[in-house]
Structure 1
């Protein structure tokens, strides 16, 4: 299946799932599983994206990371032709603004940038459990970032996001995620 076709299907499926009790329950399970991992215990600087409603909710995760004294950095897509991504320091005092993609980003252009993170929580629409490749939103921001930097990576994938194997074409520029947390198991 072509990536663009699967993207449309996944977005539709995830939007439908977004306001269900099942999704809220799975989000809570994913949060607890991730928070109990060594990945979180051993990481001080953590990059994350402010989630869209169709994604696994990261708002509680961010609050829990702050409670544990972790430094949180929010992804910010740069408006350049290279589709670059930076991670800006995010505190409870930070002002946020919606990007052209509808994602909340740190508004302060002078916020500390840290692209040498201990851990990055990588978003996506679909994840192949066997190869750990992901289908993102199509901009290539995370693949470019991960090709240039080398943090530990983890993805939170609810039951609608997981595939036993990739049904989409894998390209040489696709960077697999190291760890995938699902409601049932950690891969």
Structure 2
């Protein structure tokens, strides 16, 4: 996949974004196809819970380089369904949509890469749908099992953010799981037993 992205350098323009810089907002109409060359991007939706309460953000997913960003709305020329912010410093390749479509017509392998990327996004959506029906305890256990290699670097606050819950709610579940002997904590890090 990286080889195909390197070929796109000739038809795109590289831009650098700092951590916490917004790439696009939900509802905006895409003007270019975006390819994440380095860094990590957080895809999120903003929710307005009540009149006097500040909007909250629900993290949908993190996308790591190299990867297409919001390829479906870009190619269909539809508004972005969510917003994107750089979770790290990022390098992004911006490609004119017509130029990209011409490149795909000349090299059908690009379509295969695009389809593979879309299939990956469908898997992410399926996981989000499945996860929406789980309790916080089940979500946490699933997250811990799927991220065992990263647990030594993740803070409980980061895990709470990824699970779209408050640190206080997560702390209650952690205490419960510790009592059950399913996890332990050491220096603020969670260890799965």
**TM-score of the superposition, structure 1-length normalised?**
0.26
- Structure having the higher helix fraction is 2
**TM-score of the superposition, structure 2-length normalised?**
0.26
Larger Rg: 2
- Structure having the higher strand fraction is 2
